[in-house]
Chains A and B, each alone.
Chain A
Amino acid sequence: MKSTRRHFFKTMATGAGTMLLGPSAKAMSSVEQFNGYPERVGMLVDLSLCIGCRRCEEACKRANQLPPVEAPLNDSSVFEHTRRTDAENYTVVNRFANPQPNQPAVYVKKQCMHCEEPACASACLVGALRKTKEGPVVYNPDICLGCRYCMIACPFYIPAYEYHNPTSPKVRKCTLCYERIKAGGMPACAEICPVEAITFGKRSDLIKLAQAQILNNPGEYQNHIYGLDEVGGTTWLYISKVPFAKLGFPTDVGTTPFPEYTRGFLSAVPVVFVVWPALLGGFHLFANNRQPAPAQEDGVTRNDEETEQ
């Protein structure tokens, strides 16, 4: 599905006329199964390791030329409220009380999940958001309209908008340090993490690592890799000893890739374009070929306005 759609983007750029018909049947076809580029990267977070030092926030801001962190890193008062990502914070660490007694609090790093089939990219009407073959979902501000439908579509409440920027407002979110990855590096957060709670690698490898970690510590971890199947899979994977529902993870997002939800509707578009003219034209002919009503004051019923002169 993905490759065909990507291919479709390229070919579609030639003829705007076909745009009327909406996505073609080819783009909508799922016969050609594509399970993602095998070399795409992933990030695995072991939540039981995170110590909440927020050094990843700091590194992220440095890597993305964002203003420095507001609260000092050792100021634990930031954890009193659950924070979300915003235009100046691509990643935030939140603290959640451990539901098990006498266990330390759990810190959860939050950022763009870089879905395998991103809702935001399928929401974007100009293709400003795009899933790269390396894995990151990247954003092109130069073509963005600022409709913010991506923010509606994102099930994780990640994309943020520069509401205070009048001239060049942008959708802001984690880029998975796309440039660094392409240059052979790793995202800044994974690099800085002092306890190596974030592991960067090939997504396929990380899944095995996560499974092994759960298997080798029987009874300790939740038997679930968050992001393996959620919304069709995400680049970021999480393992935890505490149920994900208690850690602010949305657990009602399902495993269906979000583009699937609008696929049925979009496939109906060409049908309407083909069937409606015939149907409506037929109605028109039928309605205007009937016998004129016998007793009409103003005379005969006329076919069309153009004949009136």
Chain B
Amino acid sequence: MNTHISQSIMSREWIQENLLLGKPARTYFRGLVTPLNVVAAIIICVGLPLIVSRYIFGLAAVTHASNNQPWGLFLSWGLFSGVPLASTGFIMAATVYLFGLRQYHPLLRPAVLTGFVGYFFAVVFLLVDLGRPWHLPYPMFVSFGTGSVMFLVAWHVALYLSTQFVEFCPAIFEWLGAERFRRWAVKVTIGATIFGVILSTLHQSALGALFLLAPAKLHPLWYSPYLPLLFFVSSIFGGLSMVIIESTLIRRFLPGRMDPANHRVLDGLTLGLGKGAALTMLTYFGLKLIALAHGNHWNLLNSGYGAWYLIELIGFVALPCFAFVLGVRRCRPEIVRFAAFWAVVGLVANRFTVSMFALNWQLPHREFVSLKEALVVATIFTIELLVYRWVVNRLPVHREHTRYKSARKRHLVQAPQPA
């Protein structure tokens, strides 16, 4: 088997077919010069030296993080926003495999890929942000701080990254033409899915639980014993919204990479996902109210932070939820898509609030925005998008691999069509 793969990978035809999108090398590389690619290249050219400087001159070279505010944009974006938005994998895997809603199968692989790339780049952000990134395996192999929520996050993110890789393996092996490996990978799907859901439940909520240790630092409106639950529930609608957004973007910008059959069912699936997102957002809204009542800090609503809390609660939870409902009720997928963007912005706003704005709210002088940090984040995010596009362009993500097409098509169920 191995020799088979290596032989096929080494062959010129294979390279042209699988890496260069079936074009001759010259045509392929000429085709890379597009306006978007040039913009991406400029961003990376500016950002990469910054990232390199971080390893030469220390964290201070790129980050505004201070002794009072040790976590900055890298974690607020890369970890606290990146991980819940990468919950797509476990949500769609659970939907399709555990709850048996097989009509969503076309969205499974893109979701797993989004999840995998999201987690992978969360780790990349960690490698930039950690003081000693080369100690990253220490919690797994060297020293165990078992009383720490961060310990749980580290283990689970590492395990879940591996799990998602396993879940995505069938696509990779299809691409590589490694048939026997593919079958093995398919066999562990259910196990991996269940394991993935467990890990996700725990570390999505653990990201919220991290802040349980800062009761005097996090603003009382956001600090709540319900934080883990809030983080978990919001990650579900975040993931559902991301699936909608991802499929929308692929259909808009890479329509050729999506099977025509998937094109047809996408609107119906989007409405279904919108329904799920509306329900979870409603749950989330209710939980937020319970947390608010439990905290009993109603008087704080009448302050600057209170205003922002209300904007977040109404403008970024209730209203997008309402938009989801509206889109589903009227069978208007474009409204659902808009709501999905809205919900994702709301989720990111919530994570930035908890991990940045509302943390250390009592300190007098705080600075959040740093140009260098933003550039590094933009660079890594650009690379993330390029990687995602690279994979979608080559691997069978939104489409069936030619060899497995007939087999897979059989259990495609017709999704509900918009009226």
Contacts and interface: CB of A to CB of B under 8 A. Distances in A.
Interface of A: 5, 8-9, 12-13, 16, 19-20, 22-23, 27, 84-87, 119, 121-128, 143-149, 151-153, 155, 157, 159-166, 168-170, 250, 252-254, 258-259, 261-262, 264-266, 269, 272-273, 276-277, 280-281, 283-284, 286-288, 290, 293, 296-299, 301-302, 304-306, 308-309
Contact of B197 (A9, A258, A276): A276
A143 B144 CA distance: 10
B147 A276 contact: no
B135 A12 contact: no
Contact of B147 (A23, A128, A161, A283): A23
A86 B135 contact: no
A302 B103 CA distance: 12
Instruction: Tell me the interface secondary structure of chain A in the complex.
Output: loop
B152 to A, nearest CB: 5
B391 interface: no
A164 B202 contact: no
B140 interface: yes
A155 B215 CA distance: 8
- What range describes how many residues of B lie at the interface? 35 or more
Nearest to A265: B209
A157 B189 contact: no
B194 to A, nearest CB: 5
Interface stretch (B64-72, B111-119, B367-375): B64-72
9 contacts: A12-B144, A16-B144, A163-B65, A163-B66, A261-B212, A293-B413, A299-B411, A308-B407, A308-B410
A302 B102 CA distance: 9
Contacts of B205: 265
Contact of A5 (B99, B147, B187): B147
Contact of B151 (A125, A157, A164): A125
Contacts of A144: 131-132, 135
B242 to A, nearest CB: 22
B147 A155 contact: no
B99 A287 contact: yes
A301 B100 CA distance: 10
A175 B170 CA distance: 53
Nearest to B150: A125
A145 B284 CA distance: 34
Interface in B350-396: 359
A239 B150 CA distance: 35
B225 A306 contact: no
B60 A119 contact: no
A146 B135 contact: yes
A305 B186 CA distance: 7
B306 interface: no
B292 interface: no
B190 interface: yes
A161 B129 CA distance: 12
A141 to B, nearest CB: 9
Interface stretch (B8-16, B50-58, B243-251): B50-58
B191 to A, nearest CB: 9
Contacts of B217: 152, 155
Contacts of B98: 280, 283-284, 287
B143 A143 contact: yes
Given A145-B135, A290-B100, A302 B146 contact: no
A126 B143 contact: yes
B68 A84 contact: yes
B406 to A, nearest CB: 10
B206 interface: yes
Nearest to B57: A166
